[in-house]
Amino acid sequence: MPAQRLDLRVFPDPKRLSQAVAAAFSATACEKASLGKRFSVALTGGRTPRLLYQELATDFRAQVPWTHTHFFWSDERYVPPNHPDSNQRLARESFLDHVPIPPENIHAPLTHLEYPEEAAVLYEKAMKEFFSTGEPGFDWVLLGLGEDGHIASLFPGSPTLDAGGRWVVFVDGSPKPPPQRLTMTLAGINRAACVHFLVTGTGKKDALRASLEGAPDPRRFPAHGVRPENGTVTWWTDASAAAGLSEAFAGTPS
């Protein structure tokens, strides 16, 4: 990814990174609300967003216009919503259950249907209906980065990387447990206004370097396929994850 177009922000630690992301989140939400518009967000799964979610439930709770804010998920494990592996459970326990957001503003996928492919179709339908009257896609899509370079539940070499016009697909046999998931596709992600990657820890050093510095190869590094048609990509990283980046990509410490 050419360095000159890269928006890479490096923070000393995950806490300060999460505070900065929460501040940007709140500012965008307020801006949208001041225009009488919804603020639509696709939440990421995994452990990295936990600190951000806690920030939203505490220091930023009173600042975010929750009635204007709507949450979907960029991916979800195909497990019951109260399952320990559920991304929805993580978000509810760490912030959604602790902020005054109308329940109808939380758009979680169904993960109990006998046929998960049907759940993927229904979730895509819900997204398309949500965006049928306004923006083409999410204001914010939050994504993590796996140590193998996966994003959402789009894994290197997976056929889901060539999902055509689908916005949401079912993944069976995920290399990262649990095996069954629903995930947004690159087509769905690339309709966003802003994609925000949250990447922390030394374990992500190699994947971050390859995702930022490698020759474009979306099948090997799905992050290379994140190129919003009319949007931006911001990488929020801590010093540990960014330690492997070459000088040209090292970003400006924040």
- Does 46 engage in binding with ligand 6PG (CB under 6 A)? yes
Q: Which is nearer to ligand 6PG, 3 or 110 (CB)?
A: 110
Q: Which residues, 6 or more positions from 124, have their beta carbon under 8 angstroms from its beta carbon? A: 166, 167, 168, 188
Count the Cβ atoms, other than its own, within 10 Å of residue 27.
13
Identify the residue among 16, 37, 47, 128 touching ligand 6PG (CB under 6 A): 47
Q: Which is nearer to ligand 6PG, 8 or 182 (CB)?
A: 182
Residue in 47, 28, 33 with CA at minimum distance from that of residue 94: 47
- Does 75 engage in binding with ligand 6PG (CB under 6 A)? yes
Tell me the CA distances in angstroms from 18 to 47, 124, 186, 221, 224, one per residue in order: 12, 29, 25, 25, 24
- Does 41 engage in binding with ligand 6PG (CB under 6 A)? no
Site string for ligand 6PG, 181-220 (x = CB under 6 A): ----------------------------------------
Q: What is the DSSP string of 25-59?
A: HHHHHHHHHHTT--EEEEEP-SSTTHHHHHHHHTT
Site string for ligand 6PG, 86-125 (x = CB under 6 A): -x--------------------------------------
Cβ atoms of 211 and 149 within 8 Å: the answer is yes
- Does 45 engage in binding with ligand 6PG (CB under 6 A)? yes
Q: Where does this chain touch ligand 6PG (CB under 6 A) — which range of 41-49, 60-68, 218-226, 228-236?
A: 41-49
Q: Where does this chain touch ligand 6PG (CB under 6 A) — which range of 44-52, 131-139, 184-192, 210-218?
A: 44-52
From CA 109, how far away is CA 88, in angstroms rounded? 9
Cβ atoms of 137 and 191 within 8 Å: the answer is yes
Q: Which is nearer to ligand 6PG, 8 or 151 (CB)?
A: 151
Query: Cis link prior to 228 (omega < 30° from 0)?
Result: no
Residue in 247, 238, 246, 233 with CA at minimum distance from that of residue 19: 238
Pick out residues in 142-161 that bind ligand 6PG (CB under 6 A). Answer: 144-146, 150-153
Nearest residue to ligand 6PG, using CB? Answer: 144
Identify the residue among 18, 48, 158, 240 touching ligand 6PG (CB under 6 A): 48
- Does 228 engage in binding with ligand 6PG (CB under 6 A)? no
Q: Which is nearer to ligand 6PG, 32 or 244 (CB)?
A: 244
108 secondary structure, DSSP code:
P
3-state secondary structure of 156: coil
Q: Which is nearer to ligand 6PG, 10 or 184 (CB)?
A: 184
Task: Give contact residues for ligand 6PG (rule: CB under 6 A).
Answer: 44-48, 75, 77, 87, 144-146, 150-153, 176
